[in-house]
Amino acid sequence: MTPGVVKARLLASPIPLVVGFWPIFAIVHLVGVGLAAGFLGLVARWEALQALLVAGPWDDIHTRLAIEMVGGVEAYRFVLRGPFEGALSDAFPAVLAPPDLLPQHLWSGLVFAAGTSTISVQLAEVLANSGMILLGTAAILVFTLSQDGLPPFFSSRLPLAAAWGMLVYGLVAQFHVSWQDDSGGQAMLSMLATKGLGIESAAYDSVVDAGPAFSLVLNILVTVFAIGVGVVGVWLVQVIQTRRRRASLPLRPSLVYGARRVGLMMPGCLAVGALLFQTLFTPGIVFEPGSSYERRLMTAMTAPQAASKPTVVTIVAGTNGFEYSVNGKRRSIRCIGYNAMTLDEDPEERKQHINRDFTAIRAYGANTVVGWNQLEFDAVLLEMAATRNLGVILPFELDSDWDYSNAQMKQRLMQRIRRWVEQYKASPALRMWGLGNEVVHGIVDTANPRAQAFAAFLVEAADYVHRLDPDHPVLYRDAEDVYLEPVAKALAEDGVPRPWFVYGMNFFTERMQDALREGPSRLLKQPLLISEFGPVGLHQAQRPDGYGRLWRIIRGFPNRVLGGCAYVWSMAGPEPLDLSFGMTDERGEPVDETIFALAALYLKEQAQDQ
């Protein structure tokens, strides 16, 4: 091939213009992400749409969480580096963030405010990428297939190069989106797998741990969809124009011709785009940094005095609320949800695993652990907790699919409950009996006779447990305050006061504050426990502050709320969602500063208990 031919083909190619205008495409993409994030937030805050979604046939709690995650954009600002970067950010602080928030290797970017959902940001990225891919594809086909009728400007190389730039930038940006690790996509998929599909952690991990191939496959699906929409859009224009027998933009009848032309150009353009994406001209998306916490254990608490005698735990109702006491000393419940899976381990190895975790949990200032797997919470776990003077809320499984109106089944359950209480009531680690978790939520409809039957059985079973062991309260846990009504009615039916019956609520958003201030739980004459809490969808750097905000809400109601249980100890738990909420890895090592943020709050209260 002669140099003249090479030069001619190069000049006919859109690559030179794509390279020259790459920074402009980067800014367009950045603005697109910001607009998409704002759009998601606006749509998610639309009350009519919220009401419509919550009223649908799907789970309303999970729907509210999804709305919170999708629309959870607090605010964002642009960052630009250059000779006037400081002056510009000082002059327009509402629009431009200080450049020191951006990593040194980036020249521009978006900075999202603390509390922004990573899921919302990732969805905004995908929308911006898909929009560029779709528009670029459609424009290239239109310009390639046009015979005449276009104004001179649109017949030039510039708009075609712009279309190619849109397509290439969108494609390259999309293939840089991660759906693993600490991404918003991982948080979104783990929530869907756990709450929507009921997939266990082992099955989910086998797919997600496929390495880059997992993200690659998802990004291919997004790309194919966006390109397909662009191609179908052009085809529909052709069909409509043909039927009307007039065309302001005449097109050749076959898209195959255009697809072949696009296919010949695509490899070179993508190669150039992939290289350009690694340069300083690629903007970044970052989050405002959270608070920093000292990463240390309190050595004074690494070897606490072991508990050797059965505890007496009381809850006394007074004029100002409820007082929770352990062996006569008033306490708050500083709790962590313990989800480690240890049953498959060698007995001695299992002891060491639990002891390692409980030593750390106690050192971080927690005084209680709660769990969900009845088999995991056995005599061995209680023994290990007692050696660390750590309290345990012992779980007993009550399934939402069981028929609680069946007399024979209720009798069998009561027999199992009696054996369970007799086996463990003398443990020095025992603090409460935990009967069921989110059972009414599983039944879904609070007006369903099954929900009424369960609530009646729950109160009957709680009374039975209290007769067998009056020295430890009974806890029932459910999702938020939405499913309280059947239990509240069952408790009030005979008029008997039960200050030892604790109603637990699981919250993952700051709606908790409104619920405690003015929700139905305000009228419930029972002590409350926030039995699960954790901020949903936050970037890893902002999780510590998120947990801190939720804990401060909990402690804002000390006379009604006994305390709270942070969700959750380990990423290596039974549910995919544990990947997003776990505070430690499989070795018990902190994955970020979340556990240290909790420790700062828990240890402060622990000092007040001394």
> Which residue, of 230, 253, 287, is where some domain finishes?
287
- Whether residue 527 is found in the same domain as residue 424: yes
Please state, as a whole number, how many other Cβ atoms lie within 10 Å of the Cβ of residue 476: 27
- DSSP 8-state symbol, 101: G
> Which residue, of 258, 287, 316, is where some domain finishes?
287
> What does the pLDDT look like over 287-313, one tens digit per residue?
888 888 877 665 444 456 777 789 999
Residue 369 lies in a domain: yes
Nearest C-alpha neighbor of 173 from the set 288, 36, 76: 36
- Whether residue 413 is found in the same domain as residue 552: yes
Round to whole Å and give the CA distance between 272 and 171: 12
- Whether residue 42 is found in the same domain as residue 105: yes
Write the DSSP assignment of 315-345 as a string of letters.
EEEETTEEEEEETTEE--EEEEE-----TTS
- Considering its fold, how many domains does the chain have in total? 2
> Which neighbouring-strand residues pair with 432?
393
CATH of the domain at 534: 3.20.20.80
Residue 556 lies in a domain: yes
Residue 295 lies in a domain: no
- Whether residue 152 is found in the same domain as residue 233: yes
pLDDT < 70: residue spans in the chain: 1-14, 145-157, 210, 241-266, 268-269, 280, 296-304, 610
- Whether residue 380 is found in the same domain as residue 262: no
User: And the tokens for 596?
Assistant: 């240290």
Which residues constitute the domain of residue 372?
Answer: 333-609
Helical residues (DSSP H) of 252-302, grouped into ranges: 255-276
Residue 405 lies in a domain: yes
Residues 596, 293: contact at Cβ < 8 Å?
A: yes
- Whether residue 265 is found in the same domain as residue 339: no
Round to whole Å and give the CA distance between 111 and 99: 10
Length of the chain: 610
Task: Please provide the distance, in angstroms rounded to a whole number, between the alpha carbons at the two ends of the chain.
Answer: 86
pLDDT at 599: 95
Residue 302 lies in a domain: no
- Looking only at the bridges linking them, the beta strands covering 321-326 and 313-318 are antiparallel
Cα torsion angle, 587, 593, 596, 597, sign: negative
pTM listed for this prediction: 0.89
Q: Provide φ and ψ at 238, rounded to 5°.
A: -60, -45
> Which residue, of 287, 311, 344, is where some domain finishes?
287
Round to whole Å and give the CA distance between 76 and 112: 4
Round to whole Å and give the CA distance between 598 and 596: 5
- Whether residue 389 is found in the same domain as residue 535: yes
Helical residues (DSSP H) of 427-577, grouped into ranges: 439-443, 449-468, 485-492, 511-518, 543-555
- Whether residue 344 is found in the same domain as residue 229: no
- Whether residue 384 is found in the same domain as residue 266: no
> What does the pLDDT look like over 381-405, one tens digit per residue?
999 999 999 999 999 999 999 999 9
- Whether residue 256 is found in the same domain as residue 365: no
Please state, as a whole number, how many other Cβ atoms lie within 10 Å of the Cβ of residue 280: 12
Residues 332, 562: contact at Cβ < 8 Å?
A: yes
- Whether residue 282 is found in the same domain as residue 341: no
- Whether residue 256 is found in the same domain as residue 349: no
Residue 378 lies in a domain: yes
User: And the tokens for 488?
Assistant: 């509240």
Nearest C-alpha neighbor of 135 from the set 174, 172, 167, 168: 167
Residue 319 lies in a domain: no
The amino acid that residue 355 corresponds to is N
Residue 573 lies in a domain: yes
Residues 454, 443: contact at Cβ < 8 Å?
A: yes
Query: Which residues are within 8 A (CB) of 478 and not within 5 positions of it... i.e. 6 or more apart?
Result: 437, 438, 439, 440, 441, 484, 487, 503, 504, 505, 506
